[in-house]
């Protein structure tokens, strides 16, 4: 471990009684805000970094909200989504704020010790939602980290006054890993050019302008952590556009359960790209798990549909290795060693 288990030496950041519950701004202390219901409802609709609600389609809205939109007009359907998202916002309680603040303090100290000032200095801003929205999955909108009651309750199991060293370790590894993952999405928006460098120069992605197909658009899953779909993977002089879709046979699509990922082969078209088709006019694609030259390239097996997710999952593993005073990705499979090594080099160069 980088830190001894002397957790009583660390003071919980005082919580302000204001509507945002912003922590005191002190030297070397992370900035943490817990948004009130009123402010959270405004923030969850923020699209200043990239479009989200303006690109949503009816089927994915049904999956995200658990309700079929009662409209046919696309603008009305998207307004329905906005109303549902904002209605899901609720308040953090004092116990939750104390736990999250404590873990963030430990994360910030660990990042500072390891020279990762960009991570240590990034503000933490939270919105709490009810479990029914987006299946209760943690996600982000802009620089806001969105946590559900289910996730909070699950990860706070070891937050007790008399916790053992092992409970402390689990708390920091599990809750800390989740928070670091989501904060990485905030960093991706704040330092976009740095991440563009990771994806295009250290990894094998390229920015492309793709003309979508009706089947893809109808069944798309717009990831709030990676709503833009400008990245394609280069492999053997071909480009592949990786998308997570809803099962087209599901009349009531469910979060997670009805998701599947495909890699669509691309071809040049006018000023951009389009999805290649077979002689039978079907879209050329491969199940992502069967795309071995891609699937085996990374030392993680989740979030492989977008480099934003890949890098966030990898940084969570990087964080856990630092927490345990271990070398990151030391057990990475041989096929992913180069990708992991490049990621570490990029982190040390661009997040210091």
Q: What is the pLDDT of residue 271?
A: 85
Has residue 220 been placed in a domain? yes
Considering only CA atoms, which of 219, 223, 216, 269 is closest in space to residue 241?
216
Examine the domain organization and report whether 197 and 186 are in the same domain: no
Let me know if residue 79 belongs to a domain: no
Which of 139, 169, 190 is the endpoint of a domain? 190
- Last residue of one domain, picked from the residues 136, 161, 190: 190
Query: Would residue 69 count as lying in a domain?
Result: no
Provide the residue range defining the domain that includes 113: 12-44+88-190
Q: Are residues 97 and 117 in the same domain?
A: yes
In a domain, 313, yes or no: yes
In the chain, helix, strand, coil percent, each to 5?
45, 15, 40
Whether 131 and 217 map to the same domain: the answer is no
Of 172, 190, 208, the position where a domain reaches its end is 190
Who contacts 46 (Cβ-Cβ below 8 Å, separation ≥6)? Answer: 141, 142, 144
Write the DSSP string, 23-77.
Answer: BP--TT---EEE--HHHHHHHTT--SSS-SGGG--HHHHHHHHSS--S-SSHHHH
Please indicate, yes or no, if residue 68 is contained in any of the structural domains.
Answer: no
pLDDT at residue 27, rounded to an integer: 52
- Rounded Cα distance, 242 and 215, in Å: 14
Q: By C-alpha distance, which of 201, 13, 188, 195 is closest to 101?
A: 13
Is residue 293 situated within a structural domain?
yes
In order along its 352 residues, the chain shows pLDDT tens digits of: 332 322 322 333 333 333 445 443 345 799 999 999 999 999 999 999 999 999 999 999 999 999 999 999 999 999 999 999 999 999 999 999 999 999 999 999 999 999 999 999 999 999 999 999 999 999 999 999 999 999 999 999 999 999 999 999 999 999 999 999 999 999 999 999 999 999 999 999 999 999 999 999 999 999 999 999 999 999 988 999 999 999 999 999 999 999 999 999 999 988 899 999 999 999 999 999 999 999 999 999 999 999 999 999 999 999 999 999 999 999 999 999 999 999 999 999 999 9
Q: What is the pLDDT of residue 28?
A: 73
Give domain status of residue 1, yes or no.
Answer: no
Are 177 and 214 in the same domain?
A: no
For residues 216 and 167, membership in a common domain is answered with no
Say if residue 201 is in the same domain as residue 186. no
Query: Treating both helix axes as pointing N-terminal to C-terminal, what angle do 165-190 and 94-113 enclose, rounded to 10 degrees?
Result: 80
Please check whether residues 201 and 185 belong to one and the same domain.
no
Q: What's the pLDDT score for residue 61?
A: 98
Residue 253 maps to a domain: yes
**Into how many domains does the chain fold?**
2
Structural contact between residues 245 and 262, judged by C-beta atoms closer than 8 angstroms: yes
Indicate whether 226 and 173 sit together in one domain. Answer: no
Residues 103 and 34 in one domain: yes
* Residue 39 and residue 184 share a domain: yes
Give the three-class secondary structure for 129.
strand
Are 291 and 320 members of one domain?
Answer: yes
Q: Within this chain, do residues 328 and 339 fall inside the same structural domain, yes or no?
A: yes
């Amino acid at each position: 471990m980088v830190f001894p288990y002397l957790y009583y030496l660390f003071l919980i950041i005082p919580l302000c009684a204001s509507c945002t519950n912003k922590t005191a701004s002190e030297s070397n202390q992370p900035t943490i805000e817990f948004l009130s219901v009123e402010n959270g409802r405004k923030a969850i609709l923020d699209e200043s970094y990239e479009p989200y609600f303006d690109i949503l389609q009816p089927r994915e809205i049904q999956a995200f909200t658990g309700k079929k939109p009662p409209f046919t007009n696309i603008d009305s359907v998207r307004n329905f989504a906005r109303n549902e998202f904002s209605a899901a916002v609720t308040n953090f309680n004092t116990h939750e704020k104390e736990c999250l603040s404590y873990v963030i303090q430990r994360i910030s100290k660990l990042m500072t010790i390891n020279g990762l000032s960009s991570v240590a200095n990034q503000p933490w801003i939270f919105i709490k939602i009810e479990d029914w929205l987006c299946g209760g999955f943690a996600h982000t909108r802009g620089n806001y980290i969105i946590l559900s009651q289910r996730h909070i309750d699950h990860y706070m199991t070891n937050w007790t006054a008399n916790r053992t060293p092992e409970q402390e370790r689990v708390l920091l590894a599990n809750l800390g890993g989740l928070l670091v993952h989501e904060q990485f999405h905030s960093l991706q928006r704040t330092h976009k050019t740095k991440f563009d460098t990771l994806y295009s120069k250290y990894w094998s992605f390229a920015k492309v302008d793709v003309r979508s197909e009706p089947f893809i658009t109808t069944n798309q899953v717009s990831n709030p952590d990676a709503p833009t779909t400008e990245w394609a993977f280069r492999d053997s002089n071909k480009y592949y556009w990786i998308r997570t879709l809803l099962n087209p046979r599901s009349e009531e699509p469910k979060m997670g359960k009805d998701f599947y990922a495909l890699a669509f082969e691309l071809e040049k078209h006018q000023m951009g790209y389009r999805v290649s088709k077979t002689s039978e006019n079907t879209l050329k694609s491969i199940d992502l798990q069967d795309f071995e030259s891609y699937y085996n390239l990374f030392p993680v097996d989740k979030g492989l549909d977008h480099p934003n997710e890949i890098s966030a999952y990898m940084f969570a593993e990087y964080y856990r290795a630092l927490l345990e005073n271990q070398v990151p990705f030391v057990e990475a499979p041989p096929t992913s060693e180069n990708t992991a090594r490049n990621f570490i080099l990029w982190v040390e160069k661009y997040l210091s």
